[in-house]
């Protein structure tokens, strides 16, 4: 592992622009369940039953309860060393962008500044009728809630079949197409169009590093694959980078 860390740091010391593309795996060590791992969320419940608008209209109580359950977990957990390492690394680069598929707010809580949230944020909720936003704070409704206009209130997350927020996606694509190094951390890279981000980076000449304990669809395209946990690998990269930076 150490020689792979060295190679990544050699690269980091020479570049100006960095993109870190993250998925549920970066929050796994915080205790937030992933989707497709053996104990993942999709094992018990099927996404089409939950993470899509028609499912929500068909069963607003179930979907509202599921997001309350997930929001409660996200309020109880803390960012882990992976989130903090990414936030720390950002300080050393003029162009450093986190592009996350996660809706758990943990990158922001760890101190990352430049973040594109491609699939929304579980902290935000809005009325499907009048689009009024609601901050539910530490209320975790176990059944559908309604706006004063009578409309259903939904989480501000991107469900299957829904468009990604345009400015977030556009910003992320621009960052990916102009970066020198792109990390793909903790994602199975199977959900599109988000999974185009590391592909665009690679196609535009970036050095692609994957950090994941398992192989993914992206592994064969990556310049370097570090098979390990984000919370263990990323702090090692940042420590080595800061040590070598001092020597210069
Ligand atoms: C859309 C909601 C249509 C929020 C989610 C091509 C182009 C465009 C669309 C498609 C396409 N092909 C197929 C589609 C349709 C679909 C799609 O991609 N389906 C897939 C499943 C086949 N895409 C869509 O529907 C998208 N919308 O296309 O709109 C459209 C187009 C034009 C006009 C109108 C409409 C919307 C997709 C967004 C869906 N929303 N979630 C929420 O509830 O969370 S998806 C869900 O999957 C989450 O957002 C999650 O972030 C995302 C990706 O999963 P991962 O983050 O990768 O998590 P996963 O569990 O899969 O993997 C975890 C990884 O971590 C593993 O590899 C594991 O090994 C690793 N790991 C574990 N522990 C660690 C670790 N790594 C490091 N350290 C550890 N400790
Ligand atoms: Zn309303």
Angle between helices 2-12 and 230-247 (to 10 degrees): 50
| Per-residue pLDDT, 121 | 96
Q: Identify the CA nearest to 35 among candidates 24, 26, 27.
A: 24
Cα angle: 215, vertex 216, 221; to 5 degrees:
100
CATH superfamily of 40-76+128-157: SIR2/SIRT2 'Small Domain' (3.30.1600.10)
> Quick check: 41 pLDDT over 70?
no
- Is there an atom of ligand 1 within 6 Å of 188 CB? yes
Please give the average per-residue pLDDT across 41-70, as a whole number.
Answer: 84
- Top-confidence residue, 21 or 62: 21
CB 174 within 8 A of CB 129: no
Active site residues per annotation: 119
In this prediction the pTM is 0.95
Q: What is the pLDDT of residues 116-159, one digit of tens each?
A: 999 999 999 999 999 999 999 999 999 999 999 999 999 999 99
> Quick check: 102 pLDDT over 80?
yes
- Is there an atom of ligand 1 within 6 Å of 80 CB? no
Q: Average per-residue pLDDT in the chain?
A: 94
* Alpha-carbon torsion angle 234, 235, 240, 246, nearest 10: 120
Question: Is beta strand 120-127 parallel, antiparallel or unpaired with respect to 133-134?
Answer: antiparallel
Spatial CB neighbours of 17, under 8 Å, sequence gap ≥ 6:
93, 94, 95, 96, 175, 178, 179, 180, 181
- Is there an atom of ligand 1 within 6 Å of 191 CB? yes
CB 110 within 8 A of CB 119: no
pLDDT confidence tier of residue 192, bands split at 50, 70 and 90: very high
CB 159 within 8 A of CB 52: yes
Identify any residues that bridge with 95 across adjacent strands, giving them in sequence order.
Answer: 17
No. of H helices and E strands in the chain? 10, 9
> Quick check: 199 pLDDT over 90?
yes
pLDDT confidence tier of residue 17, bands split at 50, 70 and 90: very high
Atom 49 of ligand 1, residue of closest alpha carbon: 101
Please give the average per-residue pLDDT across 2-28, as a whole number.
Answer: 97
- Is there an atom of ligand 1 within 6 Å of 186 CB? yes
CB 104 within 8 A of CB 76: no
Q: Measured in angstroms, how far is the CA atom of residue 125 from the centroid of ligand 2?
A: 11
| Per-residue pLDDT, 46 | 74
pLDDT confidence tier of residue 246, bands split at 50, 70 and 90: confident
Q: Measured in angstroms, how far is the CA atom of residue 131 from the centroid of ligand 2?
A: 6
Domain 40-76+128-157 in the same topology as domain 2-32+79-119+165-247: no
| Per-residue pLDDT, 186 | 98
> Quick check: 36 pLDDT over 80?
no
Atom 56 of ligand 1, residue of closest alpha carbon: 23
The proportion of the chain whose per-residue pLDDT surpasses 90, expressed as a percent, equals 88
| Per-residue pLDDT, 42 | 60
CB 211 within 8 A of CB 233: yes
- Is there an atom of ligand 1 within 6 Å of 103 CB? yes
Spatial CB neighbours of 140, under 8 Å, sequence gap ≥ 6:
68, 69, 71, 72
**Of 41, 105, 191, 211, which is best to mutate to test ligand 1, by the most ligand atoms within 8 angstroms of its C-beta?**
191
| Per-residue pLDDT, 50 | 84
| Per-residue pLDDT, 44 | 66
| Per-residue pLDDT, 248 | 74
| Per-residue pLDDT, 33 | 82
CATH superfamily of 2-32+79-119+165-247: TPP-binding domain (3.40.50.1220)
User: What is the atom index within ligand 1 of the atom nearest the CA of 36?
Assistant: 60
Starting from the CA of residue 47, give the closest ligand.
Answer: 1
> Quick check: 38 pLDDT over 90?
no
Pinpoint the alpha helices (H) of 119-187.
166-178
Domain boundaries, the chain: 2-32+79-119+165-247, 40-76+128-157
Q: What span, in angstroms and rounded, lies between the C-alpha atoms of 131 and 26?
A: 31
């Amino acid at each position: 592992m150490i020689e792979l860390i060295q190679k990544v740091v050699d690269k980091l010391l020479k570049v100006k622009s960095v993109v870190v593309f993250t998925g549920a795996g970066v929050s796994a060590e915080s205790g937030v369940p992933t989707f497709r791992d053996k104990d993942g969320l999709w094992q018990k419940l099927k996404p089409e039953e939950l993470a899509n608008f028609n499912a929500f209209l068909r069963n607003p109580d179930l979907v509202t309860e599921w997001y309350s359950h997930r929001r409660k977990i996200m309020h109880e957990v803390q960012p882990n060393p992976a989130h903090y390492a990414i936030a720390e690394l950002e300080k050393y680069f003029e162009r450093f962008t986190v592009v996350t598929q996660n809706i758990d707010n943990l990158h922001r809580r760890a101190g990352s500044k430049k973040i594109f949230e491609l699939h929304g944020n579980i902290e935000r909720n809005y009325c499907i009728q009048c689009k009024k936003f609601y901050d539910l704070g530490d209320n975790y409704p176990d059944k559908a809630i309604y706006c004063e206009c009578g409309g259903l209130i939904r989480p501000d997350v991107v469900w299957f079949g829904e468009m990604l927020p345009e400015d977030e996606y556009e910003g992320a694509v621009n960052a990916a197409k102009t970066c020198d190094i792109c990390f793909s951390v903790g994602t199975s890279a199977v959900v599109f169009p988000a999974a185009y981000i590391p592909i665009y980076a690679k196609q535009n000449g970036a050095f692609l590093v994957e950090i994941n304990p398992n192989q993914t669809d992206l592994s064969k395209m990556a310049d370097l694959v570090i098979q390990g946990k984000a919370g263990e690998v990323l702090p090692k990269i940042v420590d080595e980078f800061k040590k070598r930076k001092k020597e210069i």
